[in-house]
Structures are given as C-alpha cells and as structure tokens.
Structure 1
C-alpha cells in the first residue's frame, strides 16, 4: 500500500500546524467546506497522515484526536461528522488506491489541500446500512467507460461535495469480491443529489444520491475491480476509532458545560454542584468518559497500524454505550436549560449517530462477542 504522501525532507514535528490554530480565524458560522479548506490550507490534513516512510495510508491516532477535538470545540456536530468521515474513511480509501497520475490522484491531492471535498457513498438505497453486500448500485466496467446506476442514502457531505467515492457492485452475488469503488464528480450528468429530510446534523450536508446511467471514463475506477469491500474493511477500523475519539471530545465538552451551569445555579443559597446526588451522577459520567479515553489511547495504534477489527469493534461499541447515557445525564442535570435551542437535549439527539453510523451498536457488540476469547486473553496479566 502506498504512503498517502511522500515523506518531506526536513519535516519537523515542531513546525507542524495545529488544527486549533488553523481554525482560530474561521467564523463560527462557517460551512463544513470552509472548515475543511482552512484545515487543508494550513497543512493540517497533510500532517495528519505524515507518519514517515513505510507507514500505511491512515491518520496518526494522536493527530486524529487533536483534529476532531479542535473541530468539535466549534460546537457544530454536523461539521465534525463531515470532517470525521472524510479524514478517517474517504481519504485513506482514496489514498490506498491512487496511482501516480490521473483523476484519482488529482482528487486525492485537491482534497488534502482543502481545495475540494469528498463524500463517502457506501450506504445503499437498496439495502439496510448494515447489509453492504446487498447493495443495488451497479457499475458496468467497459474497456473505455464506466456505467453507474443506483442510489445511496444518508451520505455525509453529499450536498456540498465536489466528488463522491461510490461503492458499487460490478458483478452479481454477495461475495466480497463483487464490489469496487468508483470516483464520481458531483456534477457529472445523471448524478442527482437532494438533502436528507432531517433537522439534525445540518452542518454535515447529508443527502441522498441517485445515479441515472452515469457515464465516466475508465480511469475513474478506484483500485482493482473486486477489491472494494476488502479495502473498505481494511479502513473501517479507523473510522470506528475516529467515532470513539469524537465521543470523548463531545462528552467532555458537554460535561464541562454542565459543571459550569451546576456551579452557577443555586438552591437555598447553595450551588447545585454541592448536592451529593448531583455530584455522584456527574462523577459516574466522568468515569465512563475517562474509561473510553483510556480505550482509545490503548487501542488506537492497534486499530490503525494492525487493522485489528476486534479492537475497532470494541471501540465502536464503547462509544455507543458511553455517549448516550452520559449526554442524557447531562441533559437532565441541566434541567430546562437543556431544552434550549442547540442545548444538551439537541446535542444528545445528534450524538445518536455515534450508535448508528459505521455499524449499529447492537450489531457491533455481536462482533465483540465473537472475539470474546481473544479479548479475554488480552486481559491476562
């Protein structure tokens, strides 16, 4: 697998731009595309993957955590979701298959620089999101041309992306070798995109896409035919790690806000923060988030470098099991304030994506159970 970008002579960690600094001058109401452009222009996206010669095309866990924390700090969960999917899934997939020249390489370079955005289009209109091998989007591969038909649902960044990375079937059957990736310009004839009907995560520009006999040059095929599902599985763990990292950043932000509110509100002259029941419930949430953080620290390199899918499933499950109860507790502790526009109750609703996107928590827990023996062995002294 090629590196995402060649090692730069003289690159020093001390001069690498930081995500928080890159976003400091970006207006609070900026779109996901503008946030992505600022990250790219500052070199944050290049540095995210610059791990030295011989490293796989995947982001460094520490830098990925810093990136997601910086974007999450802006308070727009939709924009964070857009950045997460591009950085942890779409770009690594594209990089793993990009040749030295051609439209796939151009898409990679432009997306890394922030000049363009990329939507990962896997969830299919013909099958539930968890049943990727049942997808109905099809690509006919000719000697000089590709013909794409079908549809995709709930695609993050679809409504603003310059290109879509589309998982399609190139031959019948559910075997994992029946699928491949296709790079599709969003403006190509036959591509139709409309916004998803939801009031949540609006900054993510999530939409539904249909492909009506879309014709593309053959060089828009991404990687070798039949390797699409294998490539997706290889990089799925990184997105699951990213989801857990975001869950830590998001719950930390809401916990900090909740504590500040509890110290300001008083009953009989005493701040709510001094109430033992409140403190115990808050502390239990803090313990859960610290546990999730520890899992991310322990398993990050294992997921990214060794493509350990069992570890990735453990992280994905943990994020789903931690985020909702912690955010629910914060919303209740904030009382009526949690019902305010954009408040804790709304944040909790948006964070439901952590238990759905990339695999529903209950289904991922089944994968954890499948690996019970190995996971138990890891606990041995």
Structure 2
C-alpha cells in the first residue's frame, strides 16, 4: 500500500530543532496527527493506518534525532494501541499530546525476549490492585505520565498468566532511574521500580490473562513501524553520504567516480528500496490480519539491512565518522533495530518455523 503524503512541512518547523521528544509529541498530538495514524478504535485497541504511520515517522526522522523518533515510534505503534483499551481519560490525554505514556514490558527479572519469564507481579483484589517488580530499558520512562505495565497475575509461564496494568507515574511506590547510556538521549530511556504500588481495580486493562494476547495483537504494528523508520533513516543517510562522496577526492577524482564505490552504494540503495517494497506489501496483513509471520519477516529484514547499510556509509566517511555527531554514533544508536522488539536471530527463527507456507506463497 503506497504511503500517505508527507506531513505538512510546517507542522514540525515550529518546534525548535533541539527540542526534546515531549515537545515533538505535544505538537503531533495538538495537530491531530497522532489520532490520524489509526483507522479505528476497537475493544482490543487501535488499528493503525500504515501510510499515515509511515508519514509520521518520516517527518520525525527528518529532524535527525534518533532518540526522539524511537519515542514516537514506540508510543504510536505499541503503547497507544494498547492504551486505547483503557476506560478512563488517559488515552485522550496522551493522543492529544498533553502527556506521554511508556510501555513497560522488558523486565528486570528476565531477558528482553523472554516475556513469559518476567518477575513483575500484579495481585488483583476486589478493591485494590497491587504491583511489585521492576522494568528496565523503558522508552520515555523519564518523562511519561503513565506506565503500561505487563505483569504476572499467577505463577507459571502459560500464555494466560499475564495482564496489563495502567500505573500513573506519580503513584506512591513508583521510582524511575535514567538509564546509564549516552545513546538515544531523546528517548527518555529509564528503569522503573514498583514497590508496594496500590491502584484501583480500574487500573487493569481488559480481562486478566489477556496481556500477552493483546501484546501479540499489536506487536506486528511496532515491527511495521520499525521497517518504516529504518527505511527513512537509511535513505536519509544514503542521500547525505552520496553528497559527501561527490565532494571528497582521492588522486583528483571524487570517491563517487570510483566504480567500486558506486556499485557498493547501489547495492545499499537496492536493499533499502527492497525493504520499503516489503513493508508496503505486508503492511495490511500486519495491521488488519495480525499476521505474526509477516511481522517477523519485517523485523528480520530491518535487522539484516539497517546495520549493513549504515556500516558501509560510516566507513566511507572515514575519520569524520567518529566525530561526536558522526555516522559511527548514528550506527551505534541504530543497533536498536536488531535488538528492540525482538532480536534479529529470534525473528529469523520465527520465519524458519513458517518456511513451508512462505515458500508455497513465493511459488504461487
């Protein structure tokens, strides 16, 4: 499906170039862009519009702050669709840009890809809901007004043992610590502890035991958004790199005039164009059919494409790539494509599991 037109060029021009993620989110919400990313709201959350979601990410990526783009992506593609199942005013506040929400899934007690091994627990009583545990590497944690917390409501690793709980950030017992990293500063990444947290029964989103099912329903949208952002980022860097190659000379010839460089650059361009074609072809399956295999294909393709393309671009920039704002830093930040939301190897395993069906489709 072709993407929607690029957002109005003036939309984010009123936001200072060094403004943080909160200001960008506020502007997108106030302009109605965040709501327009979705086709409809259902009992199980939001259904995204692939074209509009991609246009938003391209516009934000153009500002060149990967942390800010990451925060917009996670909130738009994962957090807001789940928050839409809440019955209170929280969704409207976040969707209108009044405040932000953080998706607190990655647990301190387990590896990021091991959701069923998480240790954060929720006790659901008739009059009170109690939350205990800790989450780590949470995007927008340091500035969120609400945390969407995936917690265990009964022992075991069964799919139905987990529930989403909405925790206001100012609730007694909630403690946020900024993550010890200089990468992606605009993302507001932090670790969150929940100690003796007490909430009303309305804090539980949906029926107890439907947490992982709801997460899986919207996980593909984040993977689609990741492919859209990776395409925007790598194509932007390729354009900047080509300009630099035409200016830099060796022995009286620009690097761009060397055939080996041209061919390697063209190979990068083909890979990025293929990534865009892939997410345009699979977008509808992801948002409408919740096709997990399509989501895994997209996520794996991003992991295999982004680092390779950016590594080559960084190498062409030579020593300049190691400047404080150079491509080596951008490359390090872009490593999130191969880790966040599912490591590339795990995604390839999921693709292999469905290899027979994929091969049948390719031969049809």
**Which TM-score applies when normalising by structure 2?**
0.96
Query: Which secondary structure does the structure 2 equivalent of 1:329 belong to?
Result: helix
Q: Give distance in 2, aligned partners of 1:123 and 1:303.
A: 22
Aligned-pair RMSD on alpha carbons?
1.7
In structure 2, do the counterparts of structure 1 residues 19 and 232 end up closer, same or farther at CA, with 3 Å as the change threshold? Answer: farther
How do 1:231-242 residues align onto structure 2 when only pairs under 5 Å count? 231-242=214-225
Aligned with 1:44 (options 33, 44, 55) = 33
Aligned with 1:61 (options 44, 50, 63) = 50
The alpha-carbon deviation at position 271 of structure 1 amounts to 1.5
The answer as to 2:60 corresponding to 1:71 is yes
The alpha-carbon deviation at position 267 of structure 1 amounts to 2.2
2:231 matched residue in structure 1: 248
Bigger shift: residues 48-57 or 233-242: 48-57
How do 1:298-377 residues align onto structure 2 when only pairs under 5 Å count? 298-377=281-360
In structure 2, do the counterparts of structure 1 residues 52 and 140 end up closer, same or farther at CA, with 3 Å as the change threshold? Answer: closer
Off by >3 Å, runs of 4+ in structure 1: 50-56
Aligned with 1:269 (options 249, 252, 255) = 252
- Paired residues, what number? 361
In structure 2, do the counterparts of structure 1 residues 357 and 17 end up closer, same or farther at CA, with 3 Å as the change threshold? Answer: closer
The alpha-carbon deviation at position 72 of structure 1 amounts to 0.6
Question: Is the Cα contact below 8 Å between 2:155 and 2:161 reproduced in 1?
Answer: yes
2:171 matched residue in structure 1: 188
Query: Which secondary structure does the structure 1 equivalent of 2:135 belong to?
Result: strand
1:7 matched residue in structure 2: none
The alpha-carbon deviation at position 343 of structure 1 amounts to 1.1
Q: Give distance in 1, aligned partners of 2:361 and 2:9.
A: 36
1:3 matched residue in structure 2: none
Aligned with 1:226 (options 192, 195, 209) = 209
Query: Which secondary structure does the structure 2 equivalent of 1:57 belong to?
Result: strand
1:11 matched residue in structure 2: none
The answer as to 2:54 corresponding to 1:98 is no
Question: Is the Cα contact below 8 Å between 2:121 and 2:131 reproduced in 1?
Answer: yes
Aligned with 1:208 (options 191, 198, 214) = 191
Question: Is the Cα contact below 8 Å between 1:19 and 1:39 reproduced in 2?
Answer: no
Query: Which secondary structure does the structure 2 equivalent of 1:115 belong to?
Result: coil
Question: Is the Cα contact below 8 Å between 2:6 and 2:59 reproduced in 1?
Answer: no
Query: Which secondary structure does the structure 1 equivalent of 2:214 belong to?
Result: helix
Task: Give unmatched runs, 5+ long, in structure 2.
Answer: none
The alpha-carbon deviation at position 51 of structure 1 amounts to 5.3
Q: Give distance in 1, aligned partners of 2:161 and 2:9.
A: 42
Question: Is the Cα contact below 8 Å between 2:30 and 2:97 reproduced in 1?
Answer: yes
2:10 matched residue in structure 1: 21
Task: Write out per-residue CA displacement over residues 201-233 of structure 1, whole angstroms, 9 at most, x where no aligned residue.
Answer: 111010000001101111111111111110001
Query: Which secondary structure does the structure 2 equivalent of 1:302 belong to?
Result: helix
2:74 matched residue in structure 1: 85
The alpha-carbon deviation at position 41 of structure 1 amounts to 0.4
Q: Give distance in 1, aligned partners of 2:239 and 2:45.
A: 36
**Which TM-score applies when normalising by structure 1?**
0.92
1:176 matched residue in structure 2: 159
The alpha-carbon deviation at position 349 of structure 1 amounts to 0.3
Question: Is the Cα contact below 8 Å between 1:20 and 1:67 reproduced in 2?
Answer: no
Query: Which secondary structure does the structure 2 equivalent of 1:23 belong to?
Result: coil
